[in-house]
Structure 1
Amino acid sequence: MSSASTVAKKKQTPQNTLSLHYLGDRVLRQPTKRISKINQSVRDLAQEMVQTMYAEQGIGLAAPQVGVNKQMLVIDCDPNNTATPPLVLINPEIQTYSPELATGEEGCLSIPGVYLDVVRPEAVQVKFRDESGRPQKMKASGLLARVIQHELDHLHGVLFVDRVRNDLVLTEALNKQGFSAKAVQPIKS
């Protein structure tokens, strides 16, 4: 596992620092750009993203969700444990996927109130740069692997609802929360 984030501190805030974008917003469907230089503005963005994730009670957040077209994710699968700092992944790439698949319920800060089952590989190996610019590699399984895949999808303009296989359940869940099923772009597997 990579070294923990040195910039992004675990701290609950009463309000978010960045505005979230929601299903139907074009910014969520645009492929993101690699971050060529990791400087203080990138570290500041990471900190603001972490604070937004905590304020919204999420466990992961990708830059496009706050309207930033950059390849950055922040993750904290255990937000109540101060001993586990949040992860910051810059320019993340999944190198390998496990052949084992797992079904798990997912939600998204950009689609509040919608929780549906998604099938994903059980484990991944990901390479990325940390907020100091150092190259890192990490193996992840279970919830962390699921969150990495979910957030990395955002960097490619893919949302978890695009991976939901049961159209009837998907449409019903979206309608119930005021979202249009027309905003979904199904992934053919």
Structure 2
Amino acid sequence: MAIREILTVPDPRLREVSKEVPEVTDEIRALMDDMLETMYAAPGIGLAAIQVGEPLRIIVMDIAGKDEEPQPRYFVNPRIIDPAEETAPYEEGCLSVPDAYEELERPATCTVEYLDYEGKPQTLKAEGLLATCIQHEMDHLEGILFIDHLSRLKRERILKRLKREAKLKEKAGSAAALVAE
């Protein structure tokens, strides 16, 4: 297993629509293992393959609390089949949009069909945080970020801050390189 780099905005790869996985192979399982290790190290509760530069319809997550046993979940080619009309608010954040958190309304429950770690078809009825996390990660598979659900003003404020921080990191890296010479 290996920790991979997590792509952050404005990386254009985050806007790619992910492709179906033809079958769950050892290579796909190795990717899911890397994704889970990357997610835990970040730390986060969900990660889509596109966030590590792999445009495949794969999601990993673990919503267990800090004092609970890990409960990793793997979703290959997930598909929501009946989102509830009733919505619920949750404060969301994203490993690809660092240090940005906003409350969003999403369907309170949903049923998802997917292939598990072994490639077996599964159906899961999700509610609460699990339903929110599944929907958030599935947005990534369509090239959608949670900030796309925000008002234009909130989204632009977050993007402006991230661009400013990226420039500061770039300048700090350049300065460090000059000192090293």
Please classify the TM superposition score into its range, dividing by the shorter chain length: 0.7 to 0.9
Question: How many corresponding residue pairs?
Answer: 165
1:178 and 2:170 equivalent?
no
SS in structure 2 at match of 1:107:
strand
TM-score, length of structure 1 as denominator length: 0.82
Map 1:1-189 → 2, pairs under 5 A: 17-78=3-64, 80-81=66-67, 83-164=69-150, 166-178=151-163
CA RMSD of aligned residues (A): 1.9
| Cα shift readout 1:81-118 (whole Å, capped 9, x = no counterpart) | 55342100000000000110112211100000111121
Q: What's 2:171 paired with?
A: none
SS in structure 2 at match of 1:177:
helix
Identity, % of aligned pairs?
38
Tell me how far apart the structure 2 counterparts of residues 179 and 78 of structure 1 sit (CA, whole Å): 34
Tell me how far apart the structure 1 counterparts of residues 35 and 68 of structure 2 sit (CA, whole Å): 17
Q: Which amino acid aligns with 1:68?
A: E
Q: Which has the higher helix share?
A: 2
User: Which consecutive unaligned segments of at least 5 residues does structure 2 have?
Assistant: 166-181
- Residues 82 and 40 from structure 1, CA distance in 2 versus in 1: closer, same or farther, beyond 3 angstroms? farther
SS in structure 2 at match of 1:74:
strand
SS in structure 1 at match of 2:82:
strand
